[in-house]
């Protein structure tokens, strides 16, 4: 009952005229960003984050969450109409969404994507409401040793489950941790890594500058290089009769959408997992349990519904560890976490005690954002189709201007603009070399917390590192971390053993 009362208080805040307007703006901007090939929720949140200083923190996080939600919806539009995913989270939607559009069923595919996204978002928000308080209560037992072990778990999850090149992932985590130490020592106050006594580095490197550089400028450079030719946009018509027909067809997909929603939510909770693997896993499960698996990849509406429910559910699930434990579940939630720190809020279990109005206002806004996103998505599809025809040169110029203004506005220092340019070029080169950028941003965000909790633990325990295996909760996290770190090696050994066990080909 306490949860319902708190949720009711949250709705009282989230449905205020200001926050309702912010939700509508956020989902509209998010859908637009999500529909643009090359952009996605990470880029959208990174670019808009500096502009949130003009509204209170509660409204700011609602705006970013609405953009995050909208981008999940918007990714399906370009996947279906262009055959190019707006973001990696919508890759699986292309498998059947594009064939449906080519068969003249673009309208039906867009309806299925929008409604499935709504169902995935609704189920995941309900699960979020149920699990948020118990997880926050459990996290109240955490001390510095448990915090360090939890951050260690977040990093090793990227290594064990991230799916990227292991060595490159470790390199990016180490690089992010090094960058997080730039500035003044948190205990002694001595300057560290200030590159020849440059005054701009005394305050450290803001994660915002890094995120705008690698995700904003770097993405623009990469998009210019890879998208020289404008893709063909498939026309789509949406009428009330097509909407009714689409909803009628979706009645038989309840099992696919339910499985995708629950699976997506729990996959989204895992650090480093996020919406992309959730969508791919949901697509695979839907195909394996389908009575017509051979129709997948040829325009089966269930092949659109499964990934769309999962990627929306995962986006909500990834917010849960960020709010309750202070550990982001995805690159986008890492940016949201950094934003909360900038606004003076400390994500973690105490947030549920000290900032109840903020937390429950955000949770209730997820409900309103979900409703607003499906309505805006269906109503404004013709506008988004028109926007997809925008010349790439205009879009890239707009994004670059937003990046420069957004990077300069918070600190009003030219130093940050030069840093954004440098990180943009570095992000472009790292992207071309296939280095994952998410571990870099995550390490810069979590690095200060990791250093602080480790040094607090060492001071309290007089340098005794066995505390990390003597305290039960920390020991569990350390054990799981060791297992995840060893997981790639175990896989490699098993592959090698299976390969050597195969008979040699006959000569």
| Residue 504 pLDDT level (bands cut at 50, 70, 90) | low
Q: How many other C-beta atoms can be found within 10 angstroms of the C-beta atom of residue 256?
A: 25
Report the alpha-carbon distance of residue 441 to residue 33 in Å, rounded. Answer: 20
Nearest in space to 66 (alpha carbons), one of 110, 35, 21, 111 = 21
- Residues 68-85 pLDDT 10s: 878 877 778 877 876 666
Query: CA 207 to CA 222: how far, in whole Å?
Result: 21
**Would you place residue 196 in the very low, low, confident or very high pLDDT band (cuts 50, 70, 90)?**
confident
Question: Which of these ranges, 156-170, 219-233, 368-382, 462-476, has the smallest mean pLDDT?
Answer: 219-233
| pLDDT higher than threshold 70 for residue 445 | yes
Instruction: Write the burial class of residue 459 (CB in 10 Å: 0-12 exposed, 13-18 middle, 19+ buried).
Output: exposed
How sure is the predictor about 500, in pLDDT bands with cuts at 50, 70 and 90?
Answer: low
In this predicted model, what pLDDT tens digit does every residue of 320-357 receive, in sequence order?
888 887 777 677 777 777 777 777 777 777 777 777 77
Give the residue from 358, 271, 278 showing the smallest Cα distance to 319.
271
Strand stretches in 152-199, DSSP E: 183-184, 191-192
| Percentage, residues of the chain above pLDDT 70 | 89
**Distance from C-alpha of 285 to C-alpha of 473, rounded to nearest angstrom:** 33
CA–CA gap between residue 268 and residue 127 (Å, rounded): 12
d(CA 168, CA 221): 21
Q: Model-level pTM? A: 0.73
Report the pLDDT value the prediction gives residue 479, as an integer from 0 to 100: 92
Rounded percentage of the chain residues whose pLDDT exceeds 90: 4
Q: Which two tokens stand for residue 117?
A: 């996204």
Report d(CA 55, CA 166) in Å as an integer.
Answer: 40
pLDDT reported for residue 276: 73
pLDDT level of residue 87 (50, 70, 90 thresholds): low
pLDDT given for residue 174 in this prediction: 92
- Per-residue confidence band for 506, with pLDDT thresholds at 50, 70 and 90: very low
Lowest mean pLDDT among 285-299, 377-391, 396-410: 377-391
Q: What is the mean pLDDT of the chain?
A: 80
Determine the Cα–Cα distance for residues 210 and 441; give it in Å rounded to an integer: 7
Nearest to 375 by CA among 117, 59, 149: 117
pLDDT for the residue 507:
43
Q: Is residue 39's pLDDT more than 90?
A: no
Looking up tokens 């529909």 gives 35
Helix (H, G, I), strand (E, B) or coil at 179: helix
Cα 356 versus chain centre, distance: 24
Residues 6+ away with beta carbon under 8 Å from 135: 320, 321, 324, 325
Residues 6+ apart with CB under 8 A from 430: 172, 214, 218, 437, 440
Q: What does the pLDDT look like over 170-188, one tens digit per residue? A: 898 899 999 999 988 888 8
- The mean pLDDT value for 303-321 works out to 86
- The Cα–Cα gap between 16 and 371 comes to 16
pLDDT at 342: 73
CA distance 313 to 186: 38
Query: Residue 55: pLDDT band by 50, 70, 90 thresholds?
Result: confident
Structure tokens, 45? 């949140």
Q: Catalogue the E-assigned strands of 237-385.
A: none
| Sequence-separated (6 or more) residues with CB below 8 Å from residue 411 | 203, 206
CA 120 to CA 260: how far, in whole Å? 7
In angstroms, the CA 395 to CA 419 distance is 22
Segment 109-140, tens digit of pLDDT: 888 888 888 898 889 888 888 887 777 777 77
> Average pLDDT, stretch 225-252?
69
8 A C-beta contact, residue 261 and residue 306: no
pLDDT of 47 over the 70 cut: yes
């Amino acid at each position: 009952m306490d949860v319902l009362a708190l949720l009711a208080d949250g709705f009282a805040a989230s449905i205020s005229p200001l926050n309702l307007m912010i939700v509508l703006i956020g989902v509209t901007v998010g859908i637009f960003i999500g529909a643009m090939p090359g952009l996605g929720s990470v880029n959208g949140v990174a670019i808009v984050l500096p502009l949130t200083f003009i509204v209170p923190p509660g409204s700011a996080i609602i705006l970013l969450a609405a953009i995050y939600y909208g981008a999940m919806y918007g990714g399906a539009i370009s996947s279906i109409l262009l055959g190019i995913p707006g973001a990696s989270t919508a890759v699986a939607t292309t498998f059947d969404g594009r064939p449906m559009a080519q068969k003249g069923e673009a309208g039906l595919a867009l309806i299925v994507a929008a409604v499935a996204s709504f169902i995935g978002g609704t189920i995941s928000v309900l699960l979020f409401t149920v699990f948020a308080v118990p997880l926050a209560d459990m996290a109240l037992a955490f001390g510095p040793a448990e915090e360090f072990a939890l951050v260690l778990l977040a990093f090793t999850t990227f290594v064990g489950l991230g799916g990227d090149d292991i060595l490159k992932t470790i390199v990016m985590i180490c690089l992010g941790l090094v960058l997080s130490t730039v500035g003044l020592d948190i205990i002694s106050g001595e300057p560290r890594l200030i590159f020849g006594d440059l005054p701009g580095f005394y305050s450290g490197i803001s994660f915002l500058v890094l995120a705008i550089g690698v995700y904003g400028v770097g993405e623009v450079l990469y998009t210019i290089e890879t998208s020289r030719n404008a893709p063909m946009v498939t026309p789509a018509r949406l009428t009330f009769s097509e909407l009714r027909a689409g909803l009628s067809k979706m009645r038989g997909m309840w099992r696919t959408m339910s499985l995708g929603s629950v699976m997506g939510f729990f996959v989204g909770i895992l650090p480093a997992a996020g919406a992309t693997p959730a969508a791919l896993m949901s697509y695979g499960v839907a195909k394996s349990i389908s009575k017509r698996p051979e129709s997948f990849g040829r325009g089966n509406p269930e092949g659109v519904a499964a990934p769309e429910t999962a990627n929306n559910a995962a986006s909500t699930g990834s917010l849960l560890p960020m709010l309750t434990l202070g550990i982001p579940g995805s690159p986008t939630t890492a940016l949201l976490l950094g934003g909360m720190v900038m606004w003076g809020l400390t994500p973690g279990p105490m947030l549920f005690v000290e900032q109840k109005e903020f937390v429950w206002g955000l949770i209730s806004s997820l409900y309103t954002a979900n409703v607003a996103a499906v309505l805006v998505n269906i109503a404004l599809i013709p506008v988004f189709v028109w926007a997809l025809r925008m010349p790439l040169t205009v879009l890239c110029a707009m994004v670059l201007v937003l990046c420069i203004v957004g990077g300069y506005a918070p600190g009003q220092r030219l130093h940050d603009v030069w840093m954004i340019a440098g990180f943009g070029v570095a992000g472009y080169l790292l992207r071309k070399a296939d280095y994952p950028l998410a571990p870099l941003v995550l390490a810069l965000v979590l690095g200060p917390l990791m250093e602080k909790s480790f040094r607090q633990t060492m001071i309290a325990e007089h340098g005794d590192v066995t505390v990390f295996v003597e305290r039960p909760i920390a020991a569990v996290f350390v054990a799981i971390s060791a297992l995840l770190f060893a997981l790639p090696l175990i896989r490699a050994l098993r592959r090698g053993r299976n390969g050597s066990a195969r008979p040699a080909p006959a000569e």
